[in-house]
Structure 1
Amino acid sequence: MDADAYKPGAGDLIDGLYELKDSLGKGGMAQVWRAREVSGSREAPRAGEVSRGGREVAVKFLRHDSEALYCLDPHEREAELAVRNARFRREADLLGTLDHPGITELYGSGSHQGVPYIAMRLVTGVSLRTFLDEHNPLSLAAAVAVAVQMAGALACAHTLPVVHRDLKPANIMIGDEGAVVLIDFGIAKPLRADATRYTAHGSTLGTRGYLAPEQLLEREPTPRTDVYCFGCIFYELLTGRPPFPLGVDSGLTDKHLHEKPLPPSVYAAGIPEAIDDLVVRMLAKKPEQRPAVDEVLRVLAPFGPRPGDPEPRPRTHPDPTAPLRLPSDRVSRPRPALAVPPAAAAPAEDEWLDTRAVEQLCAQAESEIASGEPGDGAGRLRGLTARVRKEWGERRPLVRRVWQGAADGLRLAGDFGSAVRLYQGIDDDLIHGDGPAERAERAVIRLRLAECRLAFGELEAVITAVDTAGHTAAGLPPDLGARVEAVRRTVDAQLAARLAGPDMEA
């Protein structure tokens, strides 16, 4: 570690783009500064934007001078700093991919005098930790409003899938207008099979008091890991206390591992039974017993504030119910493509779909998928799925072919959440009959669905799908059975690698 590494200071001009104003805070791995984006930024405005020169931004720097690094010997220090640099670059990549008002937007990233930085949207407001300390207890409407907004942002991340791994009140901001924003994706982990694995020096990643059992046991995280941490936060929103309070000799780790929490209604009146049940399930010890974040959203939706509702009592500032009571339109920024291009080249809505053209597009996409590199064909199929189903119905084989080509392209591109929805739609609605060909096709679709779920850590479901496919293949004619068996072996190999891999990646 270089003792003379750059240290940010007020007035510094970073990469010719951002003038530092004042420090917003410093942690063990990074520090954040308020900055002004200077006029004449080298990045051209996006379509529909005015020049951004002069706006305030947050600039996050990786710390090369943290106390934890000084405690290591030179070899460990160099290795740890390499991991931190790699994670910092990954955080910038993730922020550039995630597009949701509840996740900080990436403006740019780079290196200034050898120190990496990330420039992002500045969220002015208070942390949820400060908010809870000042407003306790919260009204049910305010608690649910925070939870609904958190769930929406997490759903965006989990679709990829990306696990935050450090959800806690200090990493959640409530903006001046009440918008809830997840911050600090510094130890977030993409769950793609090809994602780089970093092994760091030190202890379990995350924050004491908000760690899921699998994190405490140093096992592989999944999106359900975030759901547990979310459950801890939601419990505190509802009751003013965490499910297992932190105290001297409290046995906190043992409680998170083994003790079932009391329902929130034990500590706060007026909590609906459905929310009571939801929170207890979010805090289940086994990941597979927790609801997915999409289910959390579905359960909470009926209890959240609605447009036109009055301001809740007691009043708070900021007011987290405001974005739900007084919604405003937000134009999403263009999301960088993963590997599948956007479907801009699909036929115009006022044109009839041409069967031959769609067949040729399917053939192109299938050729791309066979090569392992989905491209323009797969991307265009993605934009046709709803339309072919609407115009041609659910029984036409070409509709199923379009959906499968689109799903396969998304799966290979790493967008497993979107692929799951298409594969599930094929299984539920587009395969008809129970002949050998239909059984083989259904088995393949369910295996691909299991392959996507493997990325979400749903190992028991994948094991069941692989076993079921083996029995199905054995009862099919040899050619069809061989097709199913080939896919089954692929998924089984991925499952075996996952089961045999290291317990936890940092």
Structure 2
Amino acid sequence: MDADSYAEMYRPGTGDLIDERYELTESLGKGGMAHVWRAREASAGREVAVKFLRHDSEALYALDPHERAAELAVRHARFRREATLLGTLDHPGITALYGSGSHRGVPYIAMRLVTGVSLRTFLDEHTPLPPATAIAVAVQVAGALACAHTLPVVHRDLKPPNIMIDDEGAAVLIDFGIAKPLRADATRYTAHGSTLGTRGYLAPEQLLEREPTARTDVYCFGCVFYELLTGRPPFPLGADAGLTERHLYEEPLPPSLYAAGIPEAIDDLVIRMLAKQPGRRPPVDEVLEVLAPLGPQPGDPEPRPRTHPDPTAPLRRPADRTPCAFRAPCEPPATASAAGEEEWLDARAVELLCTRAESEIAAGESGEATGRLRELAERARGEWGERRPLVRRVWRGAADGLRLAGDFGSAARLYQGIDDGLLHGDGPAERAERAVVRLRLAECRLAFGELETAVATVDAAGHTAAGLPRELAIQVESVRHEVDVQLSARFADTNDRGGPGT
């Protein structure tokens, strides 16, 4: 179909029945890319949101026919990708996908209807927020973002209008329209010279049209969190001149200079989230780890002044919500331990399980044994402490299994845990193991597009190997070579594509 034919295509209207399934009841609004409707799903008896790709926006009609056709093709591809991503993201803070398809030539996505207000509206009505309320929103957004980053997927357009506060106070991350998987083979849909995102919430690398990473979302999230805490973004939009330069070069002031009651730990976290270099920003897992203890806890009193909705309610009264609503991001449910129902772990049984897992890993597989180690990791550390070598062996097996299974986010957390707390001493064996663990962590981070970190880790491992006995050096160099090959492939892919993409 040529581009001009889109002008004659279907436009949704009240009462329309979409694919004999969704009856449109009310327009909820439209932007340049999509039009969202409230609808009733007859078979399930529930209200849903149906999002249609727009083909009639002014921006499209401003293009010549050839450009319009190309842009429409890109929009269709992005829309299909959004549906695919929503189908893989299972978290209460992300809109659930109910279905997708095409109705009379127009693509649509049906998803959970979030009733409430956008964070933009919420801030406009309630600024300044009590610190507890600001942190409550941030904790919930961080959980949703951590789920996306585990895949890994980067949202790329975090801003107050793309966060909803539902009627019960839960924060929900919406609009994955320009989200991007960070796999090396992910299709890119924007040519060099295009910058995606929203002014005032763009990371420096987005402004410079460089490859996005998970830390790109952390910067945008930092801008949103700053506004939650202070009622203003770190670099306000008032004066257009110099806004880009401020995001690129100016250091933000601590939020506590603009609002009272902000703990020093929050000041430090926000400033690190807004670091100009992506590698200096904390991963979202660390953001969540810092925020969770500082936010509202079960049984806490309602903050003053009151807000409606109340974003602290899901954290203060988790029992009032569905049982799974605030589970750990993208974590599988707990299952029975490998050691059965015994009161204490059997060290011999765990050693045998490690041996089986290591055989699976040597064969390049992630099987039952590595999965059982994952279930045992925290329990083993809790029972045996952080210095017992068998604990480290359990964590290594679990991390290696997750890495082979492609769950790079979960594997990275375990490798980081080994490096931070389970590796002790500075003998040759410890230095070799530390180098290998850091290389595997860098390999996981490659999936998130963090090339510079991987380069530094590969170089550091080379220096470490040079000072080790031959047998240990060979072990480090073997893993170092694996990671270096992947790193070279990522650089070659970036160069072949001619720069940034989406």
Normalised to the residue count of structure 2, the TM-score between the two structures is 0.85
1:344-394 deviations in whole A, cap 9, x for unaligned? 79757237748667644543453243xxxx455654554454566678887
Tell whether the 8 Å contact from 2:132 to 2:296 is kept in structure 1 after alignment.
yes
1:261-303 deviations in whole A, cap 9, x for unaligned? 2332333333333333332332222222323323333333344
For residues 132-147 of structure 1, what are the structure 2 equivalents within 5 Å? 132-147=123-138
Q: 1:465 aligned to 2:461?
A: no
For residues 221-236 of structure 1, what are the structure 2 equivalents within 5 Å? 221-236=212-227
The structural deviation recorded for 1:89 is 2.2
1:402-428 deviations in whole A, cap 9, x for unaligned? 544432332233321211122234445
Structure 1 portions without partners, runs of 5+: 40-52
* Matching residue's letter, 2:116: G
Cα distance change on mapping 1:154 and 1:346 into 2, 3 Å: same
Between the aligned partners of 1:102 and 1:279, the Cα distance in structure 2 is: 21
* Matching residue's letter, 2:260: A
1:300 aligned partner: 291
2:340 alignment partner, SS class: coil
Between the aligned partners of 1:309 and 1:487, the Cα distance in structure 2 is: 49
2:473 aligned partner: 481
Tell whether the 8 Å contact from 1:139 to 1:314 is kept in structure 2 after alignment.
yes
2:318 alignment partner, SS class: coil
For residues 122-141 of structure 1, what are the structure 2 equivalents within 5 Å? 122-141=113-132
Between the aligned partners of 1:143 and 1:377, the Cα distance in structure 2 is: 42
Cα distance change on mapping 1:37 and 1:255 into 2, 3 Å: same
After the TM superposition, which of the residue ranges 296-305 and 132-141 deviates more from structure 2?
296-305
Between the aligned partners of 2:242 and 2:258, the Cα distance in structure 1 is: 21
1:97 aligned partner: 88
Tell whether the 8 Å contact from 2:354 to 2:369 is kept in structure 1 after alignment.
no
The structural deviation recorded for 1:26 is 1.0
Q: Tell me the percent identity.
A: 76
For residues 174-253 of structure 1, what are the structure 2 equivalents within 5 Å? 174-200=165-191, 203-253=194-244
For residues 68-87 of structure 1, what are the structure 2 equivalents within 5 Å? 68-87=59-78
1:446 aligned partner: 438
Cα distance change on mapping 1:120 and 1:249 into 2, 3 Å: closer
1:18 aligned partner: 22
Between the aligned partners of 1:189 and 1:242, the Cα distance in structure 2 is: 25
The structural deviation recorded for 1:188 is 1.2
For residues 89-488 of structure 1, what are the structure 2 equivalents within 5 Å? 89-200=80-191, 203-328=194-319, 330-332=322-324, 347=338, 349-350=340-341, 353=349, 359-360=355-356, 362-369=358-365, 374=366, 378-386=370-378, 403-427=395-419, 439-476=431-468, 478=470, 480-488=472-480
Tell whether the 8 Å contact from 2:184 to 2:490 is kept in structure 1 after alignment.
no
Between the aligned partners of 1:310 and 1:345, the Cα distance in structure 2 is: 36
Tell whether the 8 Å contact from 2:137 to 2:312 is kept in structure 1 after alignment.
yes
1:411 alignment partner, SS class: helix
2:79 aligned partner: 88
After the TM superposition, which of the residue ranges 309-318 and 384-393 deviates more from structure 2?
384-393
2:12 aligned partner: 8
The structural deviation recorded for 1:187 is 1.0
Normalised to the residue count of structure 1, the TM-score between the two structures is 0.84
2:500 aligned partner: 504
RMSD: 3.3
* Matching residue's letter, 1:443: A
Cα distance change on mapping 1:152 and 1:343 into 2, 3 Å: closer
1:418 alignment partner, SS class: helix
Tell whether the 8 Å contact from 1:362 to 1:402 is kept in structure 2 after alignment.
no
Cα distance change on mapping 1:345 and 1:92 into 2, 3 Å: farther
Structure 2 portions without partners, runs of 5+: none
Tell whether the 8 Å contact from 2:36 to 2:51 is kept in structure 1 after alignment.
yes
1:448 alignment partner, SS class: helix
Between the aligned partners of 1:23 and 1:433, the Cα distance in structure 2 is: 63
Between the aligned partners of 2:35 and 2:485, the Cα distance in structure 1 is: 42
1:247 alignment partner, SS class: coil
